[in-house]
């Protein structure tokens, strides 16, 4: 297990902080304020390809005969080639 590295620095007149050499210039970082004297700096890494999709819960669908026809075509096409399950 790697121990945490403590780095002390002073803030210059433009309020800049020096970060470790492992963080390349231009990297995205976030500063999270914990309390009046405590800040956590975290490097933001590349997205891993996960996507979260929010979907609203539909409580009530109105009837739409045109959509019912389209949905029936989808259902029939999906059922073609399926075999009855064996028990």
pLDDT tens column, 53-87: 888 888 887 888 999 999 999 999 998 888 888 87
- Which pair of tokens denotes residue 49? 């390809």
Q: Which residue has the tokens 């620095």?
A: 9
b/e per residue, 44-79, with b = 16+ CB within 10 A? eeeeeeeeeeeeeeeeeeeeeeeeeeeeeeeeeeee
Give the per-residue pLDDT at 1. 60
Q: How far apart are the first and last CA of the chain?
A: 52
Instruction: Identify whether 27 is part of a domain.
Output: yes
Q: In terms of residue numbers, what domain contains 37?
A: 1-46
Q: Is residue 86 part of a domain?
A: no
Report the domain count for the chain.
Answer: 1
Q: Give the residue from 67, 65, 61, 26 showing the smallest Cα distance to 43.
A: 26
Residue with tokens 């949905």: 71
Asked if residue 52 is part of any domain, the answer here is: no
Question: What pTM did the predictor assign?
Answer: 0.41
Q: Which residue has the higher pLDDT, 31 or 12?
A: 31
Q: What is the pLDDT of residue 85?
A: 81
Does residue 14 fall inside a structural domain? Answer: yes
> Which band of pLDDT confidence, cut at 50, 70 and 90, is reported for residue 27?
confident
Is residue 7 in some structural domain?
Answer: yes
């Amino acid at each position: 297990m790697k121990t945490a590295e403590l780095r002390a620095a002073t803030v210059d007149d433009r309020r800049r902080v020096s970060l470790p050499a492992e963080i390349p210039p231009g990297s995205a970082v976030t500063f999270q304020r914990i309390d009046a004297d405590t800040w956590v700096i975290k490097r933001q890494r590349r997205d891993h390809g996960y996507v979260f999709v929010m979907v609203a819960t539909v409580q009530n669908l109105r009837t739409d005969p045109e959509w019912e026809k389209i949905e029936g075509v989808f259902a029939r096409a999906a059922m073609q080639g399926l075999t009855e399950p064996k028990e």
